[in-house]
Amino acid sequence: MKSGPVEIAPSLWDVSSGTSKSLSQRRPKLYGCSSKNSYWHADAAQCRQASFQGYPRVPEEVSLTIQGLDLAPNAALDGRTEEVLRGASDIVRLHGVQGLMVTGAPMSILNPDVEKKLAETINIPVTIAIRATTAALKSMRAKNLILMTPFGDEMNSQVQQRLKDSGFTVLSCPSLEYLGARTGTRVDPEEIFRIVQKVVSETPTADAIYFQGAPFDPLSVIEKIETSLHLPVIASNPAMLWHILSLLGGKYSIKGYGKLLASWPALS
Mean pLDDT, rounded, for 224-252: 94
pLDDT at position 85, please? Answer: 86
Q: 211 in helix, strand or coil?
A: strand
pLDDT at position 28, please? Answer: 53
Same domain, 185 and 259: no
64 strand-pairing partners: 30, 42
Q: Residue 205: inside a domain, yes or no?
A: yes
Inter-residue contact 225 to 231 (CB < 8 Å): yes
Inter-residue contact 149 to 235 (CB < 8 Å): no
Task: Report pLDDT digits (tens) over 103-159.
Answer: 878 888 888 888 899 889 888 899 999 999 999 999 999 999 999 998 889 999 999
Is 70 exceeded by the pLDDT of residue 182?
Answer: no
Identify the residue with better confidence: 26 or 56: 56
Same domain, 183 and 222: yes
Is 80 exceeded by the pLDDT of residue 6?
Answer: no
pLDDT at position 220, please? Answer: 92
Tell me how many domains the chain contains: 2
pLDDT at position 39, please? Answer: 29
Helices and strands (H, E) in the chain, number of each type: 10, 9
Same domain, 116 and 179: no
Minimum mean pLDDT among 73-87, 130-144, 207-221, 248-262: which range?
A: 73-87
pLDDT at position 187, please? Answer: 85
The domain spanning residue 259 has which CATH number? 3.40.50
What pTM did the predictor assign? 0.79
Identify the residue with better confidence: 213 or 29: 213
Q: Residue 9: inside a domain, yes or no?
A: no
Same domain, 179 and 204: yes
Same domain, 166 and 227: yes
Task: Report pLDDT digits (tens) over 10-37.
Answer: 211 222 222 333 333 334 555 454 444 3
Q: How far is CA 12 from CA 8, 49, 51, 60, in A?
A: 8, 8, 9, 12
Is 60 exceeded by the pLDDT of residue 76?
Answer: yes
Same domain, 213 and 97: no
Q: Residue 82: inside a domain, yes or no?
A: yes
pLDDT at position 82, please? Answer: 85
The domain spanning residue 148 has which CATH number? 3.40.50.1860
Q: Provide CB contacts within 8 A for 178, sequence distance 6+.
A: none
| Measured distance between the N- and C-terminal CA atoms of the chain, rounded to whole angstroms | 26
Q: Residue 122: inside a domain, yes or no?
A: yes
Identify the residue with better confidence: 248 or 45: 248
Domain containing 174 equals: 132-235
pLDDT at position 93, please? Answer: 84
Average pLDDT, the chain: 77
Q: Residue 21: inside a domain, yes or no?
A: no
Q: Residue 55: inside a domain, yes or no?
A: yes
Same domain, 58 and 175: no
Same domain, 50 and 36: yes
Strongest mean pLDDT among 19-23, 38-42, 69-73, 192-196: 192-196
Of the candidates 199, 256, 255, which has an alpha carbon nearest to the alpha carbon of residue 231?
199
Mean pLDDT, rounded, for 195-224: 94
Mean pLDDT, rounded, for 231-252: 93
Same domain, 91 and 75: yes
Cα–Cα–Cα angle for 119, 121, 126, rounded to 5 degrees: 40
Same domain, 137 and 115: no
pLDDT band at 212 (very low <50, low <70, confident <90, very high): very high
Mean pLDDT, rounded, for 162-179: 92
Same domain, 119 and 149: no
Same domain, 106 and 176: no
Q: Distance (Å, rounded) from C-alpha 63 to C-alpha 192?
A: 30
pLDDT band at 215 (very low <50, low <70, confident <90, very high): confident
pLDDT at position 98, please? Answer: 85
Q: Residue 10: inside a domain, yes or no?
A: no
pLDDT at position 165, please? Answer: 95
Of the candidates 251, 242, 244, which has an alpha carbon nearest to the alpha carbon of residue 100?
244
DSSP secondary structure, 94-145, as one string = HH--SEEEE--HHHHHHSTTHHHHHHHH-SS-EEEHHHHHHHHHHHTT--EE
Q: Residue 117: inside a domain, yes or no?
A: yes
